[in-house]
Amino acid sequence: MSRTDRSNAASMPRRLVLARLPLLGLMSLLATGAMPALAQTQTLTVAAFPALDEIVKAAIPVWKQKHPNVEIKVVSRQFSDHHTAMTTALSTSSNLPDVMALEFGFVGRFAEGGGLEDLSRAPYNIGASKGRFVSYAYQQATADNGAVVAAPADLGPGTLLYRSDLLQKAGLTEADLTRSWDSYIASGVKLKAATGAYLLAHARDIKDIAIRANVKAGEGLYFDDKGNILVESPRFVRAFELAKSVRDQKLDGKIGAWSNEWSEGFKRGTIGTQMMGAWLAGHLSNWLAPNTKGQWRAAQLPEGAWASYGGSFYALPKGASAANKALAWEFVQMMTLNPAIQQAAFKSQDAFPALVETHKDAFFDQPIEFLGGQKARVIWREATTRINALDVNKFDPIAEEIVNTEMDKVLDQGKDIKAALADARKLLERRARR
Using one digit for the tens of pLDDT, what is the confidence trace for 317-370? 999 999 999 999 999 999 999 999 999 999 998 899 999 999 999 999 999 999
Q: Say whether both 125 and 197 belong to one domain.
A: no
Name the pLDDT band for 7 (thresholds 50, 70, 90).
very low
**Residue 396: its pLDDT value, please?**
86
pLDDT at position 306 over 50: yes
Q: Give 392 or 244, the one with higher predicted confidence.
A: 244
Q: Say whether both 196 and 101 belong to one domain.
A: no
Name the pLDDT band for 108 (thresholds 50, 70, 90).
confident
**Residue 23: its pLDDT value, please?**
36
- The CA-based dihedral angle spanning residues 232, 234, 235, 241, taken in that order and rounded to the nearest 10 degrees: 90
Q: Say whether both 379 and 361 belong to one domain.
A: no
- Give the SS3 label for residue 180: coil
Q: Give 47 or 27, the one with higher predicted confidence.
A: 47
Q: Is residue 317 part of a domain?
A: yes
Q: Give 7 or 382, the one with higher predicted confidence.
A: 382
Share of the chain above pLDDT 70, in %: 91
Per-position DSSP letters for 335-358, written without gaps between them: HHH-HHHHHHHHHHH--EESBGGG
Name the pLDDT band for 32 (thresholds 50, 70, 90).
very low
Lowest mean pLDDT among 6-15, 45-54, 129-138, 385-394: 6-15
Domain boundary among 365, 386, 410: 365
Q: Is residue 13 part of a domain?
A: no
Q: Is residue 122 part of a domain?
A: yes
Share of the chain above pLDDT 90, in %: 75
State how far the Cα of 60 lies from the Cα of 39, in Å rounded to an integer: 19
Q: Is residue 4 part of a domain?
A: no
Q: Say whether both 146 and 172 belong to one domain.
A: no
Which pLDDT tens digit goes with each residue over 387-412?
988 777 888 889 999 999 999 999 99
Q: What is the mean pLDDT of residues 142-162?
A: 93
Q: Say whether both 391 and 342 belong to one domain.
A: no
**Residue 39: its pLDDT value, please?**
54
pLDDT at position 176 over 80: yes
Which of 432, 370, 352 has the alpha carbon at shortest distance from 395?
A: 432
Q: Is residue 12 part of a domain?
A: no
Cα distances (Å, whole numbers) of residue 132 to 25, 55, 126, 138: 56, 20, 10, 9
A 10 A CB-CB count for 307 gives 25
Q: Say whether both 71 and 138 belong to one domain.
A: yes
pLDDT at position 431 over 50: yes
Domain boundary among 321, 347, 365: 365
Phi, psi (degrees; rounded to nearest 5) at 30 = -60, -40
State how far the Cα of 63 lies from the Cα of 49, in Å rounded to an integer: 20
Q: What is the mean pLDDT of residues 179-194?
A: 98
Which of 108, 128, 126 has the alpha carbon at shortest distance from 118?
A: 126
Which of 29, 306, 326, 341 has the alpha carbon at shortest distance from 178?
A: 306
Q: Say whether both 114 and 124 belong to one domain.
A: yes
Can you give the pTM of this predicted structure?
Answer: 0.83
Q: Say whether both 317 and 296 belong to one domain.
A: no
Q: Is residue 6 part of a domain?
A: no
Q: Say whether both 136 and 234 belong to one domain.
A: no
Q: Say whether both 146 and 268 belong to one domain.
A: no
Instruction: Give the CATH number, domain containing residue 395.
Output: 3.40.190.10
Lowest mean pLDDT among 50-54, 101-105, 302-306, 393-397: 393-397
State how far the Cα of 221 lies from the Cα of 215, in Å rounded to an integer: 7
Full residue range of the structural domain in which residue 64 is found:
43-155+310-365
State how far the Cα of 335 lies from the Cα of 330, in Å rounded to an integer: 9
Which of 158, 126, 190 has the alpha carbon at shortest distance from 298?
A: 158
**Residue 15: its pLDDT value, please?**
29
Q: What is the mean pLDDT of residues 127-144?
A: 92
Q: Say whether both 267 and 389 belong to one domain.
A: yes
Which pLDDT tens digit goes with each residue over 271-301?
999 999 999 999 899 889 999 999 999 999 9
**Residue 5: its pLDDT value, please?**
37
Q: Say whether both 226 and 294 belong to one domain.
A: yes
Which of 364, 402, 354 has the alpha carbon at shortest distance from 135?
A: 354
Q: Is residue 34 part of a domain?
A: no
Q: Is residue 246 part of a domain?
A: yes
Domain boundary among 365, 386, 405: 365
Domain tally, the chain: 2
